[in-house]
Chains A and B, each alone.
Chain A
Amino acid sequence: MTTFMTLKEAIATYVKDGDTIALEGFTHLIPFAAGHEIIRQKRRNLSLIRMTPDLIYDQLVGAGCVRKLTFSWGGNPGVGSLHRVRDAIENDYPCALETVEHSHAAMANAYEAGAAGLPLAVFRGYVGSELPLVNTEISSIICPFTGEQLAAIPAIKPDVGIIHAQKADRAGNVLIEGIIGVQKEVVLSAKRSIVTVEEIVDNLDVTSNACVLPAWTIDAIAVAPEGAKPSYTLGYYDRDNNYYKQWDNISRDRDSFNQWLESHVFAQGDV
């Protein structure tokens, strides 16, 4: 059963140095507030998993929390590079960063396999791509029925899965609407899970087919209003595309990034 906590308590309780952590949200519902709390609590040697690393992983990498990154598209969407991630890969600043690179289809399948309790994901992928030359996690398997060669990769099973969602009811059931990405899969595949929500409500008012995570699948729920900004929460606020554009300048330079980190993360208290 889930416990309602402050975000500070939830991160302190469930995120440890050296953990494998997945903060998901496919463009939508990216858990920025939770990521910033991890930075404030100075976690180190994290292995981060995320399909689209986005600004939140640029910030975690730039803050020195991360030693390994598993991803399938590592950019600032519509803008360009993740400069802090590049600085870590190219110059070991602020520390070296190991990378494991997949395709979206691979990671989506690997999350689904993790949620399903399987050791691997099997799918029709990577045909003709050279990613298998540089990623030892990519293997293949022969279908016992047709003989077709299919791609095989390990299931994703993070120590901690963290997502943001619209709302939870007082029992701790969580509603996710809009682009739901791999939100359900990351919670179900993870050993421990934290969900930040915009608000707690008496009743979720869901339709029969709504995406709901039952309270008993979640370890901690923390209220974090605007916890996905500058990404967005459908029904609450829009994506701040201008912030994404401005991040290119802030992140390009180590000093301006560190200044941003001081004023926008460390100077802020618990939400």
Chain B
Amino acid sequence: MTTPNNSTQYTSAEMMTITAARALTNNMTCFVGIGLPSEAANVARLTHAPDVTLIYESGTLQTKPDVLPLSIGDGELCESALTTVSVPEMFRYWLQGGHIDAGFLGTAQIDRFANLNTTVIAANHPEGGKNGAHSYANPRVRLPGGGGAPEISTNAKEVFITVKHSKRTFVKDVDFITTIGFGRDGKGRDNLPNIGRGPSIVITDLCILKPDPQTKELIVTSLHPGTTREEVIEATGWEVKFANTLEATPMPNEKELSVLRELKARTEKAHSAQEAI
């Protein structure tokens, strides 16, 4: 048996990825976003969930990439997939058709009701209901946009989110809802037919947050080792609440760390191999 305290040292980014990976179980079908979600999903596949089904919006079904893709459609995803379908088929049959257990997303901004913004950061901050169309018309930073996320969030059975924790990212109200969590009042999924149950877990480099069963506001349910409540409060843009029984997130084990590090080393090597322009 290993003794994690003295045999494993890790960064907060590694803690986040490995904790996010643990959200996936072996029997799940997961629609994977690029970046942090893709990293976590592949760590899950290479550790405790070897049979997890990973699907990317480029149409690759049941893919097992050896290195992380830089884009959503790298050749690696297609060549290691069971099969590859067209993009319309991906969204119509596989996602909208109800075959996805979990959507795994990242974001640029997230609010207390787990709404995601990947569209614009507003020039004027949105106090007083100036978000939405107002923010769109007054961008300070233009982000890439929604891509697959708006429908992944509503058509997958549940949604996992992983994102680095900071006051810039965790805001009280997102400037623009690209992708719904629970809406601006927490009731955005109520009384709708054919909609998934939405975000069930948010994994950051500091903690785990989950929606309150009644209000749907995100509350901290688990602190990562070494993180204090004050650090989480300081990095969150609203008066964040903590669960009555706050858990301690288990530390990464040696296998998880070595799998993650080897994956990242392989990826770095593969992506820097080509010649200069």
Contacts and interface: CB of A to CB of B under 8 A. Distances in A.
B132 A27 contact: no
Contact of A74 (B144, B176, B194): B144
Contact of A178 (B84, B178, B180): B84
Given A125-B150, A246-B276, A72 B86 contact: no
Given A129-B178, A134-B133, A108 B92 contact: yes
A52 B268 CA distance: 24
Nearest to A233: B75
Contacts of B178: 129-131
Interface in B71-86: 71-75, 77-79, 84-86
A128 B183 contact: yes
B148 interface: yes
B151 A124 contact: yes
Interface residues of B, number: 66
Interface string B138-155: 010011111111110111
B271 to A, nearest CB: 4
Nearest to B147: A73
B84 A242 contact: no
Contact of B88 (A77, A78, A125, A185): A185
B192 A242 contact: no
Interface in A22-81: 26-28, 51-52, 71-75, 77-79, 81
Interface string A176-188: 0011111111000
Chain A: interface size category: 35 or more
A241 interface: yes
Contacts of A183: 86
A129 B92 contact: no
Contacts of B171: none
Contact of A127 (B73, B132, B192, B274): B192
A250 B85 CA distance: 34
B7 to A, nearest CB: 33
Most chain B C-beta atoms within 10 Å of own C-beta, residue among A26, A111, A127, A184: A127
Nearest to A25: B73
B133 A27 contact: no
Given A77-B72, A244-B71, A250-B277, A103 B148 contact: yes
A101 interface: yes
Interface stretch (B10-18, B52-60, B217-225, B240-248): B52-60
A72 B147 contact: yes
A123 B151 CA distance: 10
A239 interface: yes
Contacts of B132: 130, 133
B68 to A, nearest CB: 9
Given A103-B151, A125-B154, A180-B84, 6 more contacts: A103-B146, A105-B95, A109-B92, A128-B115, A130-B177, A180-B59
Which 3 A-B pairs rank lowest in CB-CB distance, beginning with the nearest? A27-B73, A128-B180, A75-B144
13 contacts: A26-B58, A77-B34, A103-B149, A109-B91, A127-B180, A129-B179, A130-B178, A133-B133, A178-B78, A180-B85, A239-B70, A242-B273, A246-B277
Interface of B: 34-35, 57-60, 69-75, 77-79, 84-88, 90-92, 95-96, 115, 119, 132-133, 136-137, 139, 142-151, 153-155, 176-180, 183, 188-189, 192-195, 270-277
Interface of A: 26-28, 51-52, 71-75, 77-79, 81, 86, 89-90, 101, 103-105, 108-109, 111-112, 123-131, 133-134, 146, 148, 178-185, 211, 232, 234, 238-247, 250, 264
